[in-house]
Chain A
Amino acid sequence: MSVTTAVEQTENNAPLQILAPDGTVVRPDLMPNLSDDELRELMRKMVFTRVWDQRAISLNRQGRLGFYAPVAGQEASMIGSEGALSKEDFILPSYRDIPQMVWHGFPMHQAFLYSRGHIEGGRIPEGVNVLMPQIIIAAQCTQATGVAMGYKLRGEKRVAINYFGDGATSQGDFYEGMNYAGVYKLPVIFFSQNNGYAISLPFEKQTASENIAVKAVAAGIASERIDGMDIMAVYYAVLKAKERGVNGEGATLIEAMTYRYGPHTMAGDDPTRYRTGEEQSEWELRDPLIRFRKFLEAKGLWNEKDEEAVIEEAKKAVADAIKKADEAPKMKVSELIDCMFETLPPSLEEQKAEYLAKESK
């Protein structure tokens, strides 16, 4: 085995774990070197994100939000991976990966505007290195190769990370992206959140492959299979993949085993049709927040008061962001026309004039 440095897993195919579900450290040798404050910050972001997710679901039910894909269960994968990157690294997310975007610097009120389909929800501020969430499954896997090739050509020590689900690994673009990354040795991280389902389709019907990590073998890139409910394992794997990338050792595929507690999206998906309550309860025992909280509590780094404070902070932040989103002026078709080309061709100038006339009434 030369090219795939480490499908880092035990013989029985168990994903890499650093923290056991009870919060004890099972692989002290791999424990990321993080300060107490950094550890607490990761917990803060997970709790915040859980609250934000609950609020977003409820706002959606009240009709105050548009398209939304719940994230509860996946916080460790999302926050641990973003946390291991620096702000210079580039995120190419999928529709569920809004938390990584926001923790990378994308303003939350804009995320809400994105959810409502407002153009302002896509206006990525200068210096925030994210692309808009991708809807075409796995398209970001090929685009990440281009972003990464840019870094490589300019000799910059930066990586591009692209997020996608388990279903996405059936798409050609996933393979084409990995193959390119392998051939050109690009600083890319392919981060698959294997939450067991693509809408309703369970993993074993998605692919006959034993797991996703092995799919890197054919592309000649490294891979890691990790417990995606264990934020330390996620952090460790992404940091290692980043080092590999910036050291010229090429791309890494990470398969994070995780679970989404909620429906696929808020647009009518009913998970009770395709999965059982027992399954859900089983996964909840491995919850990323419980696990990390126990770990921190044992070290005296977290207590109920800390938790309460973050919950309040998150509620207030969401309320403020929604208020700000509400204040955004309605999106206009003339604005939409303006961003079709650098300078408008005459036909669109005409069409814009029509809409400007309507909009001024």
Chain B
Amino acid sequence: MAQMTMVQAITDAMRVELKRDETVLVFGEDVGKNGGVFRATEGLQSEFGEQRVFDTPLAESGIGGLAVGLSINGFRPVAEIQFFGFVFETFDAIASQATRMRYRSGGRFHSPVTFRSPFGGGVKTPELHADSLEGLMLQTPGLKVVIPSNPYDAKGLLISAIRDNDPVVFLEHMKLYRSFRQEVPEGDYAIPLGKANVVKEGTDVTIITYGAMVHTSLKAAEEIEKARGAKVEVIDLRTISPLDIDTIVESVKKTNRAIVVQEAQKTSGVAAEIITQINERAILHLEAPVLRITAPDTVYPFAQAEDVWLPDVKRVVDGLTQVLDF
């Protein structure tokens, strides 16, 4: 096993799949010679050639359409959107085209595209680079949305995403790319999409979260345990669509209290969906309202205000305190 950062694990996943299946193609802006602006495709072009790993002109709608066209013609495109804030330029290809392919063709064609993209706050990018737009994806029927929180998961989930016969949006939190290393197996292993991971067991309150907020939540859990001895369960969703509601409900039935932590703005989105489903399935098990810890409903701020805008450990601790004291 090797020690890898998340970005290395992601490269490794693409390497495994490029090697295994010659219909896998990797493309996007600057992914070839340059290896991607985050080096996520580093070395892949020299290893697999310009037919398999290639640069595209600077046109996101073009990338999306190319991917959809290739996918109905027997290929498995892994298309990079350089920053997820630019997803709107290719939103049609993802939300209206790839996801409808099975329906429109009565099952004759499908769109096994993986759209990879960096996103996420706390790294002081320019405007429109960091936005957490996964809620928009979540509301798109026919789309799978994956957000890993660590190198091991990132590799296993990306391998599953590429093998999946449905369109997948795979979001890579920029802050996690190089923030720590982890043991990652060489070669091939897959983590199933749609299965959450209970990263920490507890009995008194559940935190449901994903991406970089898994780490914030784990720190908050540690703090509150130290401060008052409450045992916190932390669920890393890994996939926000499809949602592993069974794991969530099982945990809530055990702890009777929950908060949902997300980086994205408050209204609608992942947290709202999870809370609704908890209400539908487990309301009588609740001892307190389920809270959400989120960013406020503003546009993503300039870098100066980013740190206070994003949910942090203190806000999560406050949320936990509130539901524990309810």
CB distance from B197 to the nearest CB of A (A): 17
For A126, give its contact among B51, B66, B108 (CB under 8 Å): B108
Instruction: Given A176-B61, A342-B166, verify A143-B97 contact (CB < 8 Å).
Output: yes
With a cutoff of 8 Å between Cβ atoms, the chain B residues found around residue A180 in the complex are 56-57, 59, 62, 65-66
Instruction: Given A141-B65, A176-B59, verify A124-B73 contact (CB < 8 Å).
Output: no
Report whether B93 and A119 are in contact in the complex, using a CB–CB cutoff of 8 Å: no
Restricting to A51-69, which residues have a CB under 8 Å from any CB of B? Answer: none
Report whether A124 and B165 are in contact in the complex, using a CB–CB cutoff of 8 Å: no
Report whether B246 and A346 are in contact in the complex, using a CB–CB cutoff of 8 Å: yes
Report whether A136 and B97 are in contact in the complex, using a CB–CB cutoff of 8 Å: yes
CB distance from B21 to the nearest CB of A (A): 14
Residue of B74, B92, B106, B109 with most partner-chain A CB within 10 A: B106
Q: Which range holds the interface residue count of chain A?
A: 35 or more
With a cutoff of 8 Å between Cβ atoms, the chain B residues found around residue A153 in the complex are 51, 75
CB distance from A352 to the nearest CB of B (A): 13
Instruction: Given A139-B97, A145-B69, A146-B66, verify A339-B106 contact (CB < 8 Å).
Output: yes
A173 interface residue (CB < 8 Å to B): yes
Query: In the complex the two chains form, what is the Cα distance from A148 to B62 in whole Å?
Result: 13
Report whether B106 and A136 are in contact in the complex, using a CB–CB cutoff of 8 Å: no
Question: Quick one: CB contact mask for A135-155 with B, threshold 8 Å, 1 for yes?
Answer: 010010111111111110100
CB distance from B196 to the nearest CB of A (A): 12
Q: Number of residue pairs across A and B with beta carbons under 8 Å?
A: 134
With a cutoff of 8 Å between Cβ atoms, the chain A residues found around residue B62 in the complex are 142, 145, 173, 176-177, 179-180
A183 interface residue (CB < 8 Å to B): yes
Report whether B65 and A124 are in contact in the complex, using a CB–CB cutoff of 8 Å: no
Report whether B106 and A150 are in contact in the complex, using a CB–CB cutoff of 8 Å: no
With a cutoff of 8 Å between Cβ atoms, the chain B residues found around residue A122 in the complex are 103-106
B218 interface residue (CB < 8 Å to A): no
Query: In the complex the two chains form, what is the Cα distance from A145 to B63 in whole Å?
Result: 10
B268 interface residue (CB < 8 Å to A): no
Restricting to A138-190, which residues have a CB under 8 Å from any CB of B? Answer: 139, 141-151, 153, 160, 172-173, 176-177, 179-180, 183
CB distance from A241 to the nearest CB of B (A): 18
Residue of A nearest to B60 (CB): A176
Report whether A146 and B65 are in contact in the complex, using a CB–CB cutoff of 8 Å: yes
Query: In the complex the two chains form, what is the Cα distance from A262 to B246 in whole Å?
Result: 55
Report whether A183 and B64 are in contact in the complex, using a CB–CB cutoff of 8 Å: no
For B102, give its contact among A90, A120, A144, A339 (CB under 8 Å): A339
With a cutoff of 8 Å between Cβ atoms, the chain B residues found around residue A345 in the complex are 194, 242-243
Residue of B nearest to A126 (CB): B108
B288 interface residue (CB < 8 Å to A): no
Restricting to A332-355, which residues have a CB under 8 Å from any CB of B? Answer: 336, 339-342, 345-348
For A150, give its contact among B70, B92, B164, B166 (CB under 8 Å): B70
Residue of B nearest to A156 (CB): B73
Report whether B103 and A342 are in contact in the complex, using a CB–CB cutoff of 8 Å: no
Query: In the complex the two chains form, what is the Cα distance from A122 to B108 in whole Å?
Result: 9
Residue of A144, A146, A151, A183 with most partner-chain B CB within 10 A: A146
Report whether A149 and B69 are in contact in the complex, using a CB–CB cutoff of 8 Å: yes
Instruction: Given A180-B56, A180-B59, verify A131-B109 contact (CB < 8 Å).
Output: yes
With a cutoff of 8 Å between Cβ atoms, the chain B residues found around residue A40 in the complex are none
With a cutoff of 8 Å between Cβ atoms, the chain A residues found around residue B142 in the complex are 340-341
With a cutoff of 8 Å between Cβ atoms, the chain B residues found around residue A119 in the complex are 103, 106
Restricting to A297-324, which residues have a CB under 8 Å from any CB of B? Answer: none
Report whether B103 and A336 are in contact in the complex, using a CB–CB cutoff of 8 Å: yes
Report whether B69 and A347 are in contact in the complex, using a CB–CB cutoff of 8 Å: no
Question: Quick one: CB contact mask for B76-106 with A, threshold 8 Å, 1 for yes?
Answer: 0100000000000000110011000011111
With a cutoff of 8 Å between Cβ atoms, the chain B residues found around residue A177 in the complex are 62, 65
B110 interface residue (CB < 8 Å to A): yes
Report whether A123 and B51 are in contact in the complex, using a CB–CB cutoff of 8 Å: no
Instruction: Given A148-B69, A149-B70, verify A123-B97 contact (CB < 8 Å).
Output: no
Report whether A142 and B165 are in contact in the complex, using a CB–CB cutoff of 8 Å: no
Report whether A146 and B70 are in contact in the complex, using a CB–CB cutoff of 8 Å: yes
Query: In the complex the two chains form, what is the Cα distance from A151 to B71 in whole Å?
Result: 12
A111 interface residue (CB < 8 Å to B): no
With a cutoff of 8 Å between Cβ atoms, the chain A residues found around residue B74 in the complex are 150
With a cutoff of 8 Å between Cβ atoms, the chain B residues found around residue A341 in the complex are 102, 142, 144, 166
A132 interface residue (CB < 8 Å to B): yes
28 contacts between A and B (CB under 8 A): A122-B105, A123-B105, A125-B108, A126-B108, A131-B104, A131-B105, A142-B64, A142-B66, A142-B93, A143-B97, A146-B75, A148-B69, A149-B66, A150-B73, A176-B61, A176-B65, A180-B62, A183-B57, A339-B103, A339-B106, A340-B102, A340-B103, A340-B141, A340-B142, A341-B166, A342-B102, A346-B246, A347-B242
3 shortest interchain CB distances as A-B pairs? A146-B69, A142-B65, A123-B106
B residues near A, CB below 8 A? Answer: 51, 56-57, 59, 61-62, 64-75, 77, 92-93, 96-97, 102-110, 141-142, 144, 164-166, 194, 242-243, 245-246
A residues near B, CB below 8 A? Answer: 90, 92, 119-120, 122-126, 131-132, 136, 139, 141-151, 153, 160, 172-173, 176-177, 179-180, 183, 336, 339-342, 345-348
